[in-house]
Amino acid sequence: MSSGAFTASIHATLLGAVSNLVGQAIASIQANSPTIVIYPSDVTRFALWCLLSTPPNFTWQLWLEDKFPGRNPNPAAHAVDRKDPAAVPPPTEEGSLNIRNTAIKFLLDQTIGAALNTVAFIIFMQLFRGRSVEWALHECQVAFWPIMIAGYKFWPAVSIANFVLVPAHLRTTVGSVAGLFWGVYLSLIGAGGKTL
């Protein structure tokens, strides 16, 4: 595992645990519980999910950027005299946004990426609750579209901002910060006894 994937995994794991703690606390308050009830097994499950799912998502983001670069080559970088190091533009100078590639990355991320992550999340959560594979697959049929539809109200904005403003190696971390809020939502669904 690369150091970037490792760092992103640690960030995602910590943020996943925090999102679950916040979600459980909100659920306790909404239930008018006299005390805030926290289930450590749920926190552990969310943290473990983040730890295991971040490396493939990190690789996915790098693959998307490699296959569909978000920036056009900087013409100034190709026009300079390579023998004169002072003439080379700083590496932070990027070319213009490649709208076609950004649109392709967005569509792939919001279809294939979102679907695979949703299915993996549902199955993981069910199996780590000790449920059978059959139950986990049934839960996929029940929970997949509600989670995808809810996600489409949140993740497209995160995805566009990530592809336009954030370097590929930081996208998983930025996604994890956004995932803090998404994790609270998922924790509330789970606490409400709705699926998951």
pLDDT in tens, 153-195: 999 999 999 889 988 888 888 888 898 888 888 777 765 555 4
pLDDT at 86: 52
Give the pair of three-digit tokens for residue 85: 């190091």
Q: Is 64 within the bounds of a domain?
A: yes
Percent of the chain with pLDDT over 70: 86
Tell me the mean pLDDT in the region 94-118: 95
Q: Is 34 within the bounds of a domain?
A: yes
Residue appearing with tokens 């954030």: 166
Q: Is 159 within the bounds of a domain?
A: yes
Distance, CA of 59 to CA of 180 (rounded, Å):
20
Q: Is 196 within the bounds of a domain?
A: no
Which pLDDT band, with edges at 50, 70 and 90, does 128 fall under? Answer: very high
Interacting residues of 32 by C-beta distance below 8 A, sequence separation 6+: none
Tell me the mean pLDDT in the region 108-132: 96
- Cα four-point dihedral sign 183, 181, 192, 120: negative
Distance, CA of 187 to CA of 37 (rounded, Å):
13
Q: Is 137 within the bounds of a domain?
A: yes
Distance, CA of 54 to CA of 70 (rounded, Å):
21
* Domain carrying residue 30: 3-191
Tell me the mean pLDDT in the region 70-74: 87
Phi/psi at 150 (nearest 5 deg)?
A: -60, -40
Alpha helix segments (H runs only) across the chain = 3-30, 40-67, 75-79, 99-108, 114-127, 133-151, 155-165, 171-191
Tell me the mean pLDDT in the region 84-102: 71
Q: Is 79 within the bounds of a domain?
A: yes
Give the pair of three-digit tokens for residue 141: 């049929």
- Reported as a single tens digit per residue, the pLDDT across 25-40 is 998 898 898 999 899 9
Q: Is 93 helix (H, G, I), strand (E, B) or coil?
A: coil
Residue 2 CB: number of other CB atoms within 10 A? 12
How many domains are there within the chain?
Answer: 1
Task: Name the amino acid, one letter, at 87.
Answer: A
Global pTM reads 0.81
